[in-house]
Structure 1
């Protein structure tokens, strides 16, 4: 019986990376659906993942309540060339209306061509690929001037060689605007669902997240998220953003820390350039101290209209 695995290089990188970096070494965690835990938006990455109180197209995968605070239509793209031949992409759209705000988000992952091995570890001289798509439909609205709620209906699809797996799921979230400077949030992700390949099924990991952000100055924001996942230990995301405004241009400088990352050092840096708050180009850089010694660069582009 042939057992298809990743090549030695991919296996040691991707599988251990998914279970070690993303899940901080928890051996009870499978690699299934791990691809969708990777942060994609350079704004989110550079803030260390502390983004649950923000309100733009990049917040859709973090807290569905965020877009209730938006007043402009927005499109956002992001791309990450990750390790070896793996790559991630992100596309989102936000539409505010009189009855609430609607959003669409699509995350995709592809691992490229990988060598195939049989159960004894011998090469078959064939290749296979792995890919996945996460599609989300989001609705959010203000219940009053201070309290907003949102829901995200999600559909996971993964394929490894000829094997496919699917699962629906959902997120719910809320944001409380205490004053013009302070926001708090609560998010529950992956309320149900599981991915099954052949005979092995992994439940989608439930996540309870609480967050807050505080605007210290008009151009300086600090944020923190605390995560309580069902499949791992408590982790913290911390981020800061400082905006420089010059003649219609905005230059955001960001830095963050993600305590759940192991093989990467957890620190991240980001920089953006925007014109009249309508068009933004954003970059995020995550340094690595792992044996791979491969830093990760995220690139994103967003438009408001």
Structure 2
């Protein structure tokens, strides 16, 4: 009898009835991957998590929308036809932990935990502590699936691992061509992994799996041995590549007469980290039996985002399902959950991992890292405190300066009211030294300068007027020159200047020049009486003594 289920494989695979009686081989029970963090004990980048979370959410949304377009491609996503799958397909399309399940099983370049041997044995080279992990899930048709793993580092570069995978179907009653027999049986398949991984240098890790495969169906049983080879290449701090050759030495099973070999599967993976390792993207490509009769292509991809140091969210998509999940992580314990949306139904996965027994060198390294982290945090807090103190000091200085400037401006306005322009100017110079860009001080400075010049000009005018009354015309001219330098628009000073100049010319018998000076006065003030009177007298002199005007002109020419 044959227990057939529809497969999600891209091609049909006819199999011999003699070797597949009662075999439950299906890839409709996928599990997605989870992504292990690199044991960062304190990630302080969450302080700016608000904006980064939004950007990561948009990135993940875009990624899912882009990936979902694969549903519309001609290459099959959900298969409407299929047979019981391929030999040992549960070693390729299932999973070994719920972290991986949350990322649609894109784990080849990660595989850095105890269950990593399922994807890439080289991933164990990054483990520096004893670790145990366990996964259990109930698949479709009451099929039970479990994975138990154990890792023990021999030293800093050599790691040993042991894993057990078990897949057991529900009981099925034997039948013949005529009737039911009343005897029930089930299929049981289990695989033992013996793993060795080695860190060759800071860039390259390698690993080997020795697989012992057991299969039992009713009264039949068989056993085979196979081997996997894996490599990880750490291209940079942000990018890592992974390559696994599964069934490089294929396990060979023979239940009855014909034999079946597990086909070669080439897995290639890449991971990229962003936002100081808070966002991680992983993708896998699988080529199943590329040189044989099956030639099947699988793909999967997922994103993990660390919201808090202890809590992460995951989402992924593969050629046959969409997955999501979350994880809780401490220094010693991991709990992961994932759910997958499949055409048939939802599947749930739970896994736990426990780390203990740090090796001496690793314990020393861990303590050193914790001490360095604590010192960095302390230094950062001290720098922050110093920065806050400096800010407070600067703020105090700014407030004190503003108060000083405000007080100074009040004094300037008081000096202006008192017409004490000299003190006002000194105060404004002091204010502009404190704040050269102060607009009010600049405006007041221009105003004070103008008022000060007017005041000096006015004082000089009154002094010159006193000299004029005393008929000290030469001193009047000297004093008014200074006044007009202070304030050239002072009309009274101009009028008095030309009057004094005319008087000087009269005294020197330069009547023509005196006449011109008095005319300048009348241009400025046509009603100026003294200038009018002097012009009349001068006109009378020129009428009765014309020779005086001519001699004055000759002297001027000479």
TM-score, normalised via structure 2 length? 0.48
Summarize the Cα distance change of 1:126–1:172 in structure 2 as closer, same or farther, 3 Å threshold.
same
Provide Cα deviations, 1:171-198, integer angstroms capped at 9, x if missing partner: 0011111111110111100112222220
Aligned to 1:44: 100
Q: State the alpha-carbon separation in 2 of the partners of residues 188 and 79 from structure 1.
A: 26
User: Is 1:235 aligned to 2:298, yes or no?
Assistant: yes
Report if aligned partners of 1:41, 1:58 keep a CA contact under 8 Å in 2.
yes
CA contact (8 A) 1:183 1:213 kept: yes
Which residue of 103, 115, 119 corresponds with 2:161?
A: 103
Q: Which residue of 1 aligns with 2:273?
A: 215
Larger Rg: 2
Deviation at 1:71, TM superposition (A): 1.7
State the distance in 1 between where 2:27 and 2:198 align. 37
1:242 and 1:18 map into 2 onto residues whose CA distance is: 34
Larger CA deviation: 58-67 vs 17-26: 17-26
Counterpart Cα distance in 1 of 2:279 and 2:268: 21
Q: How many residues align?
A: 285
- Paired residue for 1:300? 351
Asked if the contact 2:24–2:84 (Cα under 8 Å) also holds between the matched residues in 1, the reply is no
3-state SS of 2:140 partner: coil
Aligned-residue offset at 1:201: 2.0
- Deviation of 1:89 (Å): 0.5
Among 99, 117, 121, the residue aligned to 1:60? 117
Q: Which deviates further from its counterpart, 11-20 or 133-142?
A: 11-20
Alignment of 1:97-246 (within 5 A): 97-98=154-155, 99-118=157-176, 120=177, 122-191=179-248, 192-217=250-275, 218-230=277-289, 231-245=294-308
Find the aligned partners of 2:334 and 2:83 in 1 and give their Cα distance: 40
The Cα shift of 1:16 comes to 10
The Cα shift of 1:40 comes to: 3.5
Cα distance change of structure 1 residues 165 and 16 upon mapping to structure 2, 3 Å threshold: closer
Contact 1:40 1:88 in 2 (8 A): no
Deviation sequence 1:255-274 (CA, Å, 0-9, x none)? 11121x3xxxx111111122
TM-score for the superposition, normalised by structure 1: 0.86
**1:242/1:253 contact within 8 Å kept:** yes
- 1:171-229 CA distances to partner (integer Å, 9 max, x unpaired)? 00111111111101111001122222202322102111111101112211101111111
More helix per residue: 1 or 2? 2
- Say which SS state the counterpart of residue 67 (structure 1) adopts: helix
SS at match of 1:59: helix
More strand by share: 1
**Contact 1:79-1:88 at 8 Å conserved across structures:** yes
Q: 1:36, 1:144 → 2: CA distance? A: 29
Per-residue Cα deviation, 1:17-49 (whole angstroms, up to 9, x for no partner) = 845637976968755433434224111111111
Q: Whose RCO is larger (CA < 8 A, sep 6+)?
A: 1
- Do structure 1's residue 258 and structure 2's residue 318 form an aligned pair? yes
Provide the aligned C-alpha RMSD in A.
2.4
- Given candidates 320, 328, 331, the residue that maps to 1:277 is 331
Task: Provide the secondary structure at the position in 2 that maps to 1:48.
Answer: coil
